[in-house]
Amino acid sequence: MGQIAIGHQAIPFCLPDADEKKVCLDDYSGRWIVLYFYPRDNTSGCTLEAINFTKEIEKFRDLGTEVIGISPDSPKSHCAFRDRHDLKVILLSDLDYHVLEEYGVWILKKMYGKEHYGVERSTFIINPQGTVAAVWRKVNVDGHIQEVMETLKSLQQSM
């Protein structure tokens, strides 16, 4: 299980999207990427996060940035989630947890005294050279998208 950090090369992957089309990180080579990991479609925090990214998607795209969300949900679940909330972000399915593990976001959690594995809500900004430029772990959704946007603008200005 990895613990990717600022300055590391982003770990390449290919995963199915909501329409079961294979999407690879390399498809966005030379572009900025906001890569976020979330626990589950249609839960309150995950829905709010996806809707908030969607509200700002044109601003991200104006900055040459694509927003990609990954969870262990199926493409069918992502399709229903996308359509139900009119989401504009790319949603990818990691059914075998491989990418989640590689990015160090598939972790042992404790809830009500029981342990289970789940996704630690996390966000990564990847620069056009494929290097991780910013990392947020244990994300609190409130205000997060604005913080990501401000950080992205700052990173772009410093290049």
Q: Do residues 103 and 125 make contact, with C-beta atoms less than 8 angstroms apart?
A: no
Query: Distance from CA of residue 45 to its chain's centroid?
Result: 14
Q: Which residues are catalytic?
A: 46
Q: Is the dihedral of CA 18, 19, 22, 28 positive or negative?
A: negative
Q: Are strands 132-136 and 122-126 parallel, antiparallel or unpaired?
A: antiparallel
Q: List residues bridging with 71 in a β-sheet.
A: 93
Give the Cα separation of 93 and 82 in Å (integer): 13
